[in-house]
């Protein structure tokens, strides 16, 4: 990696802010879709903060390669965001459950983390949300690519 690839650019900033705004909006929809009462706390801010980092580090690195690759970079960033969000949120829930002594040992707790992530995935598996996330991520990638091309 060249030292100049680590420098801040307008394209990286647009990717980070765009993915963060999309994540903040989508997390509000997830809260509305959740099937049972749950204390979400600072869920929206965690989603937006992680999306900012992912947008900067995943989408921002892949800019400057062309319009189709910009849309692909947006989808890659969304996939990375969903992976890390599910991992982080299920880890948080697993820690809470393990403090309540629901697991016999660390391996069972680790296994429980993936069961929680699967349960969360089933709770948010809606076509409209998927279209919003995929379309929004592609739009963020395209706009970031155009900004990176116009403002080098």
Angle at 120 between CA 123 and CA 59, to 5 degrees: 105
From CA 59, how far away is CA 137, in angstroms rounded? Answer: 10
Cα→Cα distances 44→24, 49, 55, Å: 5, 9, 16
| pLDDT tens digits along 49-61 | 999 999 999 999 9
Token code pair at residue 57: 């580090």
Instruction: List the single range of 34-43, 57-66, 128-137 with lowest mean pLDDT.
Output: 34-43
> Considering the entire predicted model, what is its pTM?
0.91
């Amino acid at each position: 990696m060249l030292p100049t690839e680590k420098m801040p650019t307008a394209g990286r900033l647009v990717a980070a802010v765009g993915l963060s705004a999309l994540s903040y909006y989508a997390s509000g929809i997830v809260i509305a879709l959740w099937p049972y009462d749950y204390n979400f706390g600072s869920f929206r801010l965690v989603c937006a903060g992680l999306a900012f980092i992912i947008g900067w580090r995943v989408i921002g690195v892949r800019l400057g390669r062309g319009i189709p690759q910009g849309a692909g970079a947006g989808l890659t960033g969304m996939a990375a965001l969903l992976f890390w969000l599910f991992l982080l949120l299920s880890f948080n829930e697993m820690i809470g459950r393990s403090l309540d002594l629901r697991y016999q040992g660390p391996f069972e707790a680790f296994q429980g983390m993936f069961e929680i992530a699967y349960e969360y995935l089933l709770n948010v598996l809606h076509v409209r949300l998927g279209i919003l996330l995929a379309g929004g991520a592609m739009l963020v990638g395209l706009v970031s690519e155009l900004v990176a091309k116009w403002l080098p």
